[in-house]
Structure 1
Amino acid sequence: MDANQASNGAAESVVPPADQAPADAHQGANMNGPEEENLLDAVGDSATRDTEAEDEIDEWELGDSYRRSRRKRTPQGDVYSAARSGDVDRLKYLLHEEGVDINARDKWDSTPLYYACLAGHEDITMILLEAGAVCSEYTFDGDRCHYAALNLRIREILKAYEQRPPPLDPLQLDLRECFPPEGDPCWPPDITFSFLGSDRTVGAHRAILAARSPYFSAAFAGKWRGRDEVRLASPRLSYSALVSLFQFFYTDRLDVAVDEMEDLARICRQCRLPELREKLEAEKNHQKYSDMKWHRLHQNLQRRFVLQASSLSEPARLNACLGNILRRTGGLAATSDVITDRVGDLDFSDAATPSSSRDDFADVILATGAARKFRAHKVVLAARSEYFRARLSRTEGFKEGLVPDPDGSTLPVLTLNDVSPEALETVFEYMYTDRVTSVDPGLVVEVLDAASQFLLFPLKRAVADALLPGLEAANVDELCHWLLVADMYGVARLREFCLNAMANNFEAFASSAAFQAMVKELPPLTEFVDATIRPNKPEVAVPRGTEERNEESTNVLEDLREKWLEFEGGELEERDKHAAEFDRRMTDLRNMDPREPSDFSSAD
């Protein structure tokens, strides 16, 4: 019998089939509360909450007997059947290709993690946890997973992951530093909310609040225009609920005490966040169902509700909302196809022309010479790039370099002389949406230069992701060019793609003039040592405090040799002979006159 103790006290001994409900299943229903007063008629607050310890999770070793266990394949199954049967391939496909919500409940109110724990699949459990499945014992779903765990091993995994918050994407991770649970923000707030009859305040940023909530967008453009502080007047407004909502605005992750859910739902009603409010109302029903069991087992602990970004529709997520406000500034191409591909199926019919900060809430202008000016937001630039954070901090308090804005204010101007408007548009797309949907091959080198200049190193991978689909049909000359570019700028994924293509079609590449020119440009191969005479590496003690040297190859030709040997090398001495032949051919290419035809055939 397994350890699953459902809320009604029942126990289960086997995994329920697809057409049978778990023993503790129950049905939830949304409850619509009465109309509430306007809670945000001028008040505010700021306090910080403790965050979960970000302990490192050790790698879990799966036993041999577990690896040998047979799994049922579910080629057409949903995420619940894949988790229940232990189909790793199907689960990964659903997570990475279909983008399913891993915290969604089925008709029996069970999550994929619940089924994985109930069936005792350690690898499935870890995949779901790494993807952001809620496992906290102090939540409704997490509590069920702990009690459903088939063995102590599953419970140990849940406990280990419970000690850290779920992983955040780079955009959410960077913006969290602007509204941290504790400590000072990386960029000072430009709007402060205070509560009536309280000395607590909450500092935030107009651009983020306006991007996430239509209510704040209208308020900042209307009744709160030009104000640095807003004093909220409603005595029923919960400070902690408002802070939880603001943290959700910055991170796409909601973590709220169950006791605050009703207050937060009222705030969501006024902020015009129907999707978030519906999820809160539905969760309130689940929490009522487990009240009796909770008070019996955890009388002194506070229950919490955790909502991940994957539970939201695409238009309601942070990158889509920031893409919308960037669209208002005119910082992206105005074609509807580009916008739809980038941030989902959004309605930009109300997006105003970039003529006033009443519409886009821009507070800085980036100028690329005399060609084009981009309206932007300091909080996004400072959060995503240390380069812009340093430059913007030097403009604070100075009157020089200010230009008038149509709404009567003045905006600072940062001049960027080393980047074209087209390349900066791609940089902006990444900074606001965490992705690059498409990139002109002629702009790739300039965008990679900008990524290095602005210290936006993850942008290089985003550029590679956008470029690679177009390289499937690339010719020899193009792949040689992109390999040199990838090696120069350290774009690992693009480099790996080119090396694999060359290793798979080595003879075609070796006979081309472009490959010969590339070999001449690259550093030469190091001397190859045959395996039969290779001496054992002596043990050398590294002095304490000295960084041990990483001896892994970074030479392009050496990496190409290793890739080619994976296909042609064989084993032991045969592999060494093939490696020596590869070195000889590279040497001949380096010494060959460019006017001579290169005719390399297979080794004799």
Structure 2
Amino acid sequence: MRSTDQNFKELCYWCRIGDVENVDRLISTGVNLNDNDEFNNSPLFLASLCGHEDLVTLLLKRGAICDRDRHEGARCIYGALTDSIRNILLKYDISKAVDLKQPFAAHLSSQLNDRGIKSHDLILQDRAGQKVKLHRFLLLARSSHFASQLQSMGDDHIALDLPEDVPPVGLDVISKYLYLVPLLHGISRKDSLAVGRFCKLLGFDGLAEFLEKASDLQDQVEISKLMTEFQHRFTEEARKQMQEFAATVVREKRLVSVTNGIPLDVLHSMKVGPTMPDVFLFVRKRESSEEGFIYPCHRSILTRSEYFKVMFASSFDETTLYRQTQEGILDRTVNFPVVSFPICDCQTAELILSYLYYDRTDIPWQSAINVLRASDALLIDRLKTMTAVAITQSSEFLEMHTVFDVLDVAWEFRLERLEHHVAKTIADNIPFYVTQPSMREAILRSSSMLQTREETDTIELVDDIRYYLLKKYNIDVEDLDEINWDENDGEESITRKDIFTYKSDFQRLENLLQDMNVNV
């Protein structure tokens, strides 16, 4: 199938270039990795053909298919630029190409059986006495059937019964489907009919449709292809549901004062509200302010941040209000703790929550610096990288901030991508930047970052600018050895013009370094 989706076209472009961060950003929008472009090329084929090993690995982990028994897979393996890429493709089992196209899906899957922070607060059980521990907020978000039941129950109820006609296999199917654990390989033809019936009852229409279509197929390759298509659909369905749920979390925020403590009746009313939280996130309106907003959140989602994961797994004071019932799940009759957000900015907090709940990675450039600061404090490295991508792709950012502001951000948050973006921007307009006092300051600061400076040391910023000057004029280092640095001998080839224009820009940078008495 050939895709006309603009995000897919952009994805194919970055696969040719080899930009891992931009590909990861676009994958998080839900683009189908197994579509083909107008030339019948898949993203995986383009990445392997162009020799981008890290990108090939990322695409495979996110769900790209390379089945050697199908034309697309064989073509991908045959066209691989290097033997190492070919070996990666050959070793990758098609059964691994599952539903984990997005990191948030992988996180949800891990939460089904993760007992590390003891955040399960509901037992789902069938008539045979089988039980599984779940998170009620996920049933609220992903099943209208279960949501209506939970909303009619009291907050102190810890168990939910499945309908009588759900077969024994149903408990496993439901829990895996809710948590995006790949399950299609594990449903036998024998169980398909019964599973399909209760899926329609619970509103899992996509799963019921897959089972109906798969029942008509005999070829295993076609069945595997159908599995891949539907696992992608399941992920996107869940992502949209979690997006709507995250919007409810934001809508349910309350303005409170903490001067005398947050009133318990406020916390209780939020606890039994539409998101049924198990933790509250407090965001101050400004530094030293006693006022702020509290958001009704969920520990198993906040633990996508390593900061919160450590907090909830420890014996910090914030976690002492948690108590387990005899069944080993969260006791919802006690009060829940309030944890603080590290930045006094609700807009930033809500952007972070949207990332944690449904993997939003399109960060508005106006909020980029605050999101970087919060991501750094919360130890969310991937979001830092995605925010850096947003900065590099925004022309408006450099209209509001200088390139040296961006460099300060790059150094503060250890973002190599932004450092390269700054160096390229400077190289593209070297006559202007060498006249700026901030350029001198940046070079000196880059120089001071060397722990020990020897005569042969280079300054990283200068080195990067020199590199992008070569790229600007499409000159290889080898070309420089053949340059006659005397006057132009009259040849008018484009290459020679580029070389001498490069020389002029290069010399401007050298003159600045000499004027600063910096030997690089």
Shorter-chain TM-score bucket reads 0.5 to 0.7
Q: How many residues were matched structurally?
A: 428
What pairs with 1:318-333 in structure 2 (closer than 5 Å)? 318=239, 320-330=240-250
Deviation at 1:265, TM superposition (A): 2.2
CA RMSD of aligned residues (A): 4.9
Q: Does 1:564 align with 2:469?
A: yes
Deviation at 1:433, TM superposition (A): 2.2
What pairs with 1:290-439 in structure 2 (closer than 5 Å)? 290=219, 306-307=227-228, 311-312=232-233, 316-318=237-239, 320-330=240-250, 357-369=272-284, 370-382=291-303, 384-393=304-313, 394=315, 395-396=318-319, 398=321, 410-416=335-341, 418-439=343-364
Q: Does 1:169 align with 2:102?
A: yes
1:102–1:468 distance in 2 versus 1, CA, 3 Å: closer
Is the CA contact (8 Å cut-off) linking 1:146 and 1:158 kept in structure 2?
A: no
Letter in 2 for 1:586: L
1:573–1:476 distance in 2 versus 1, CA, 3 Å: farther
- Between stretches 426-435 and 577-586, larger displacement belongs to 577-586
1:380-432 alpha-carbon deviations (Å, 9 max, x no partner): 012x02221232343455379xxxxxx98733211346543332222212211
Query: C-alpha separation between the residues in 2 aligned to 1:522 and 1:90?
Result: 30
Q: Tell me the secondary structure at the aligned position of residue 230 of structure 1.
A: strand
Deviation at 1:506, TM superposition (A): 1.5
1:308–1:227 distance in 2 versus 1, CA, 3 Å: farther
Structure 2 residue ranges without an equivalent (≥5): 5-11, 18-22, 80-85, 254-268, 285-290, 324-331, 486-502
Letter in 2 for 1:560: I
1:491–1:271 distance in 2 versus 1, CA, 3 Å: farther
From 128, 135, 155, the equivalent of 1:197 is 128
Deviation at 1:327, TM superposition (A): 0.9
Is the CA contact (8 Å cut-off) linking 2:375 and 2:381 kept in structure 1?
A: yes
Query: C-alpha separation between the residues in 1 aligned to 2:411 and 2:454?
Result: 21
1:470 alignment counterpart:
394
What pairs with 1:534-553 in structure 2 (closer than 5 Å)? none
Is the CA contact (8 Å cut-off) linking 2:250 and 2:350 kept in structure 1?
A: no
Query: C-alpha separation between the residues in 2 aligned to 1:228 and 1:419?
Result: 36
Letter in 1 for 2:242: L
Query: C-alpha separation between the residues in 2 aligned to 1:462 and 1:151?
Result: 28
From 193, 198, 216, the equivalent of 1:262 is 193
From 430, 433, 437, the equivalent of 1:509 is 433
Is the CA contact (8 Å cut-off) linking 2:180 and 2:234 kept in structure 1?
A: no
Deviation at 1:178, TM superposition (A): 0.9
1:456 alignment counterpart:
380
Query: C-alpha separation between the residues in 1 aligned to 2:414 and 2:436?
Result: 25
2:172 alignment counterpart:
243
Deviation at 1:244, TM superposition (A): 3.6
1:492 alignment counterpart:
416
Q: Does 1:213 align with 2:213?
A: no
Deviation at 1:211, TM superposition (A): 1.3
Q: Tell me the secondary structure at the aligned position of residue 414 of structure 1.
A: strand
Q: Tell me the secondary structure at the aligned position of residue 371 of structure 1.
A: strand
Deviation at 1:328, TM superposition (A): 0.9
Is the CA contact (8 Å cut-off) linking 2:407 and 2:422 kept in structure 1?
A: yes
Deviation at 1:436, TM superposition (A): 3.8
From 519, 522, 529, the equivalent of 2:443 is 519
Deviation at 1:203, TM superposition (A): 1.5
Query: C-alpha separation between the residues in 2 aligned to 1:498 and 1:236?
Result: 59
Q: Tell me the secondary structure at the aligned position of residue 373 of structure 1.
A: strand
Query: C-alpha separation between the residues in 1 aligned to 2:400 and 2:440?
Result: 11
1:589–1:278 distance in 2 versus 1, CA, 3 Å: farther
Q: Tell me the secondary structure at the aligned position of residue 277 of structure 2.
A: coil
Deviation at 1:475, TM superposition (A): 5.0
Q: Tell me the secondary structure at the aligned position of residue 177 of structure 1.
A: helix
Q: Does 1:283 align with 2:214?
A: yes
1:337-391 alpha-carbon deviations (Å, 9 max, x no partner): xxxxxxxxxxxxxxxxx95634112221111242221221111012x02221232
Higher helix fraction (1 or 2): 2
Q: Tell me the secondary structure at the aligned position of residue 431 of structure 2.
A: helix
Deviation at 1:313, TM superposition (A): 8.0
1:290–1:258 distance in 2 versus 1, CA, 3 Å: farther
Query: C-alpha separation between the residues in 2 aligned to 1:151 and 1:563?
Result: 32
Is the CA contact (8 Å cut-off) linking 2:141 and 2:147 kept in structure 1?
A: yes
Deviation at 1:499, TM superposition (A): 1.9
Deviation at 1:160, TM superposition (A): 1.6
Is the CA contact (8 Å cut-off) linking 1:244 and 1:256 kept in structure 2?
A: no
Deviation at 1:518, TM superposition (A): 2.7
Letter in 2 for 1:262: L
Identity %: 18
Deviation at 1:554, TM superposition (A): 8.6
Is the CA contact (8 Å cut-off) linking 1:207 and 1:361 kept in structure 2?
A: yes
Is the CA contact (8 Å cut-off) linking 2:430 and 2:509 kept in structure 1?
A: no
Deviation at 1:456, TM superposition (A): 0.8
Deviation at 1:481, TM superposition (A): 0.9
Q: Does 1:445 align with 2:378?
A: no
1:274-302 alpha-carbon deviations (Å, 9 max, x no partner): 2332233222222xx449x99xxxxxxx9
1:23-44 alpha-carbon deviations (Å, 9 max, x no partner): xxxxxxxxxxxxxxxxxxxxxx
Query: C-alpha separation between the residues in 2 aligned to 1:459 and 1:91?
Result: 20
1:222 alignment counterpart:
152
Q: Tell me the secondary structure at the aligned position of residue 467 of structure 1.
A: helix
Is the CA contact (8 Å cut-off) linking 2:105 and 2:235 kept in structure 1?
A: no
Is the CA contact (8 Å cut-off) linking 1:177 and 1:186 kept in structure 2?
A: no
Deviation at 1:157, TM superposition (A): 6.9
Letter in 2 for 1:435: R
Structure 1 residue ranges without an equivalent (≥5): 1-76, 81-87, 106-110, 136-141, 295-301, 334-353, 401-406, 531-552, 592-604
Is the CA contact (8 Å cut-off) linking 1:365 and 1:414 kept in structure 2?
A: yes
Is the CA contact (8 Å cut-off) linking 1:192 and 1:203 kept in structure 2?
A: yes
Is the CA contact (8 Å cut-off) linking 2:210 and 2:230 kept in structure 1?
A: no
Deviation at 1:156, TM superposition (A): 7.8
Letter in 1 for 2:512: R
What pairs with 1:88-237 in structure 2 (closer than 5 Å)? 101=32, 129=60, 132-134=63-65, 145=70, 160-162=91-93, 165-166=96-97, 168-180=101-113, 184=115, 187-198=118-129, 200-223=130-153, 225-232=155-162, 234=164, 236-237=166-167
Q: Tell me the secondary structure at the aligned position of residue 523 of structure 1.
A: helix
Is the CA contact (8 Å cut-off) linking 1:195 and 1:231 kept in structure 2?
A: yes
Is the CA contact (8 Å cut-off) linking 2:128 and 2:168 kept in structure 1?
A: no
1:20 alignment counterpart:
none
